Chain A
């Protein structure tokens, strides 16, 4: 049981929810840059939350499977087809043996997460199936996918979908009529506002810098990648210069190197960093951050910590309900 990568696209990799437990050894979390999107896509087709899926960057991916599989995807404004039928974001679709799945370039946003029923069965390395692209381990041979790759798929645990049969309503049509909430499924925003909480080094910045951070627009620069989105905007000045000791950082940390241009850290970021942390993007807004692309503009809006935590708890509750609801459909 395999998936055949007919065309691998720009930067496609196998990712699960992250590699935890090895920060002490300097190993990045990695995983899907938008873990919520992968969880939703997995839930839609009856996978475990942490099943490994495919992170697609800028599309141009073509895939087919050796047997019948369900798929679902969430992410930017991509267009994904099964054969010649459109599969909307946040919906389960049945891919019959030898059907081709095509993902085209996005209209907005840059990344999407595709889940395949059963999940991708690459070996677990340091507790995760995620590809560490800089460390060259995990995922499929520790690297981005290439044309012609063959990916092992796990046997489905929950059910085997029946092939499409237009005469009956018993089997799933190519796209299921029910789906995930639109805000979870398609994440590209035209005017990006990321909510932040103050960072541990907030006080090290001038009042002007603190004001600029929440009042100005920042542009994502071209040297951004899975480690972080580099931003260009007004210089965020510190009260005093001088080196700081490195300490823990995490996806969402907004750090400011000496040139005053902030870097928004993403999933592949280093485990520790020595630049001052002016703020942190709140966890529920990381899916929006994962869609940032060079040339996009982004603004920041400060919220109290308790609000950030309440939003996260609420989303986790909503997700649990959603997964229970999907289970009823998939029975």
Chain B
């Protein structure tokens, strides 16, 4: 574990050095809870991603970087009471992989030399975890994509990707929460609402959550109450 300055009013905690999906995410998830519980003065908010946690500070209320770093180190050494550890949620995501929602499935098939049916089977059979949430509000970067499905991002991004698009970008898979530009290969669509400002919390996914995709038909998609 290392703590570095991130500008003059934030710190970056490197919880682990290398990213190993399960181990790193457990470690970051645990560290987030330890920091939330420690109530260190002057911390405005925490921003976890892969192996790190950004710790944003209010300079008027926080101590020096040395003080805050020491408090962070102490907090991360403290044992979590088992009863209070928040378990990662498991979220099932229904996905319609049919061609009208999967404009890049053929491209992924060409690149991976697998049939579209086989890609769908493997994509919906794997277990994923949310490595981080970002890019746009509520966008989950999912680790756990079967390596043989990895496909490079499109050479030029699409100007408009529809909300709910399930896509492969390199070794990761993700879901576009809202209509936005995007360069990942779209292989399906979910009717779930990933981000809603009228919901608390507004984002469906949090870093560390477990995710599975379930194949649904176009009919199921249309009938899905969002």
Contact = CB atoms under 8 A, between A and B. Distances in A.
Nearest 10 CB-CB pairs, A to B? A248-B54, A280-B7, A25-B203, A308-B8, A272-B134, A248-B47, A23-B47, A245-B50, A247-B52, A26-B134
A253 interface: yes
21 contacts: A20-B45, A24-B133, A25-B137, A25-B195, A26-B133, A26-B138, A135-B137, A135-B178, A137-B197, A197-B7, A199-B7, A248-B53, A250-B6, A272-B47, A272-B132, A272-B135, A280-B6, A281-B7, A283-B7, A313-B59, A316-B59
Contacts of A305: 5, 8, 65
Interface in B47-69: 47-54, 56, 59-60, 64-65
Given A26-B135, A27-B137, A126 B59 contact: no
Contacts, number: 131
A42 interface: no
Interface in A276-328: 277, 280-283, 305, 308-309, 312-313, 316
Nearest to A303: B8
Interface of A: 20-28, 125-126, 132, 134-135, 137-138, 197, 199-200, 245-250, 252-253, 270-272, 277, 280-283, 305, 308-309, 312-313, 316
B206 interface: yes
A252 B137 CA distance: 20
Contacts of B47: 23-24, 248, 271-272
A8 B92 CA distance: 45
Nearest to A312: B59
Nearest to B8: A308
Contacts of B46: 23-24
B54 A250 contact: yes
A122 B123 CA distance: 44
B99 interface: no
Interface of B: 4-10, 12, 19, 44-54, 56, 59-60, 64-65, 132-139, 141, 178, 180, 195, 197, 201-203, 206-207
Contacts of B51: 245, 247
Given A137-B197, A246-B49, A248-B12, A23 B6 contact: no
Nearest to B203: A25
A322 B139 CA distance: 42
Contact of A25 (B19, B178, B202): B202
A305 B8 CA distance: 6
Given A197-B7, A309-B59, A26 B136 contact: yes
A199 B5 CA distance: 8
- Give the interface centre of B6, B54, B178 by most chain A CB atoms within 10 Å: B6
A138 B198 CA distance: 11
A316 B58 CA distance: 11
B34 to A, nearest CB: 15
